[in-house]
């Protein structure tokens, strides 16, 4: 039976889940599983001319409104994804679970497979989130994340790694960000208590006021204490 580790990065939109997952995946040798990225990939394909993926088109509309996609679709995506070979040594969940129903399903999967799990709760002030998301830029080719204020590319609007022109996410407009925060408050925030009651260790980490690398080091130290030095 496997004892591979799982790190759940939990927090509101813009709290830095994607940034931290990208910094930690190589250091910890764990796969990065982002339900948001997986859904965006599906939406790109569904929007292509001639696509008959009606579910993908429906997902696009939900994401643009700031709401959550169905538990059924997301649960199935994650159950399949954690069985891929790159997740065999452990995985980082970014943006999942996001409802109590998702947390309940995940709890069964993790306990059934005896996967050691730690939850990191990235706490960030909502005013900081709104400012951050309006300045977020992303590379459409390699996925690198930037911020026009805190972490800007060397050449404005151009990816440092592959020279692609950076894009703004469709759901980073302020009115959509406010809807995403509402969805977080009503559907996602209760997940933390659910995970606590299920017995998972939760580390609270201050997600603002410090550079991403400093936050990543704190998370890494907590995880290594929890999982043991074998992964160092």
Q: Which residues are catalytic?
A: 17, 98, 136, 169, 180
At 55, list the tokens: 């579910």
Instruction: Tell me if 75 contacts ligand AP5 by CB under 6 A.
Output: no
The nearer residue to ligand AP5, 3 or 206, going by C-beta atoms, is 206
* Candidate list 11, 18, 56, 90; residue touching Mg ion; CB under 5 A: 18
DSSP of 124-173: --HHHHHHHHHTEEE-TTT--EEETTTB--SSTTB-TTT-PBPB--GGGS
Helices 54-65 and 174-183, packing angle to 10 deg: 100
CA–CA–CA angle 152, 154, 155 (5° rounding): 100
Half-sphere exposure of 161 (CA within 13 A, CB side): 10
| Residue bearing tokens 């960000």 | 177
Q: Where are the beta strands (DSSP E) in the chain?
A: 5-10, 31-34, 91-94, 116-123, 136-138, 145-147, 201-206
Instruction: Tell me if 132 contacts ligand AP5 by CB under 6 A.
Output: yes
The nearer residue to ligand AP5, 5 or 13, going by C-beta atoms, is 13
Q: Where are the beta strands (DSSP E) in 20-140?
A: 31-34, 91-94, 116-123, 136-138
Instruction: Tell me if 153 contacts ligand AP5 by CB under 6 A.
Output: no
Residue number with the shortest CB distance to ligand AP5? Answer: 36
Site string for ligand AP5, 79-98 (x = CB under 6 A): ----------------xx-x
Site string for ligand AP5, 158-187 (x = CB under 6 A): -------------x--------x-------
Q: How far is the CB of 82 from Mg ion (least distance, A)?
A: 18
* Candidate list 24, 30, 68, 194; residue touching ligand AP5; CB under 6 A: 68
Q: Which residues lie near ligand AP5 (CB under 6 A)?
A: 11, 13-19, 35-36, 39, 62-63, 66-69, 74, 95-96, 98, 102, 132, 136, 145-147, 150-151, 171, 180, 210-212, 215
Q: Which residues lie near Mg ion (CB under 5 A)?
A: 18
């Amino acid at each position: 039976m496997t004892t591979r580790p799982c790190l759940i990065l939990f927090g509101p939109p813009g709290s830095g889940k994607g940034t931290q997952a990208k910094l930690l995946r190589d250091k910890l040798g764990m796969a990065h599983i982002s339900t948001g990225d997986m859904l965006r990939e599906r939406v790109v394909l569904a929007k292509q001319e001639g696509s008959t993926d009606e579910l993908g088109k429906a997902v696009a509309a939900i994401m643009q409104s700031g709401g959550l996609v169905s538990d059924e679709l997301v649960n199935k995506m994650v159950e399949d994804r954690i069985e891929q070979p790159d997740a065999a040594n452990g995985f980082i969940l970014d943006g999942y679970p996001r409802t109590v129903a998702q947390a309940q399903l995940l709890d069964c999967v993790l306990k059934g497979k005896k996967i050691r799990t730690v939850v990191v709760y990235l706490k960030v002030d909502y005013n900081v989130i709104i400012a951050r998301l309006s300045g977020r830029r992303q590379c459409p080719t390699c996925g690198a994340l930037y911020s026009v204020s805190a972490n800007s590319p060397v050449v404005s609007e151009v990816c440092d790694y592959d020279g692609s022109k950076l894009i703004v996410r469709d759901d980073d407009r302020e009115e959509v960000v406010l809807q995403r925060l509402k969805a977080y408050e009503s559907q996602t925030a209760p997940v933390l208590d659910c995970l606590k009651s299920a017995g998972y260790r939760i580390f609270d980490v201050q997600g603002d006021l410090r550079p991403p690398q400093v936050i990543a080091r704190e998370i890494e130290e907590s995880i290594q204490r929890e999982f043991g030095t074998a992964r160092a």
